Structure 1
Amino acid sequence: MRRLRIEGYVIVSADGRLANVDNLMPDELKFEGDKKFFSAALDQADLILHGRNSYEDQPSSPKRNRIILTRKVGTIAPDPSNPKATLWNPAGASFEAACDHAGIGSGTVAVIGGPGVFGMFMDRYDTFWLSLAPRVRLPDGEPCFPGVPARSPQDVLAAHGLKPGEVQMLDPEEDISVTPFRRAAS
């Protein structure tokens, strides 16, 4: 029986943005405490899932199994530039089929963005780790989820049945925290 634990990870500005107006993660959203938390989480994941514009750019990145969402393939294909990566078009194949192609039948899948990718899994997350940089504002930047900024990221997660847990400080000097939003066990 397949059992995948799906966890999401993002750091957002006070206005719920994950990137600037140029769709790039600015230095203002990069904090050492969050980077360490993120890297440790990805090191524990069995599979990384992201869109073609998202990546983690860390020393361990080439060692990680991943699925990259793209419209450049019809269904599922190996990534010709990365033997640890599977290209997946959700319009042509199921997530489970992409996981099978990647050789992952159980374990933890870390979803790291972008907004459309996060939105696809809203009703499937076991936990979503929402890091917050409350002193950073990115007007006109890329919202972290569909529905933001009309609603806060916290409200979007709650609307999908995820409940906030205990806030953890990642960088007290910069007031950077992470909150796990968990789905109640059914």
Structure 2
Amino acid sequence: MQLKPYARSLAVAFSLAFVAGCSSTGGTQDGSMSGSGTASGSGAGASGTGTGQVSGSGLGDGSGQMADSRIPEVRTIYFAFDSDAIRPEFQSVLNAHARFLRNNPNANVVLQGHTDERGTREYNLALGERRAGAVEDFLSVEGVSPSQVEVVSYGEERPAARGSNEEAYAQNRRVVFAY
């Protein structure tokens, strides 16, 4: 039975091709900490067009003064190194998203967890999931229906900024709200 070894080899080859096709090779996702929509890292792949993400810049004049029927302008929150704890400066951003989701029960959001490149791939996927899970827990406590929220972890696979310095790392440790 010569077919079995060939079938196994073929299955492995297809699996590797699939995984290679799924890996990210660049691009940005509204990763700037200033909210301007441009990454201030080393510039590789800094155009935000074609990513399927809607940039938050230019949609309003501040997250504190928007109507509850509009998606909040700031859609990215950042985390400390190796942490999934929500930083106090992002509480108002999370409250705005919670208010929007409560007032719009048909709206859904995907919480995309990201990490910097340090650590193993497996560890970073788990950390990205914990970060997005922490945001999901916050929204749940604020009264958002669990059916409106989905958690996805990209780990280190979709960096907002290229580079091996603290500025790039800080922009990559994030959760992005994708409506």
* Normalised TM-score (structure 2): 0.32
Task: Mark the structure with the bigger radius of gyration.
Answer: 2
Structure having the higher strand fraction is 1
* Normalised TM-score (structure 1): 0.31
Q: Which has the higher contact order (CA 8 A, sep 6+)?
A: 1
Structure having the higher helix fraction is 2
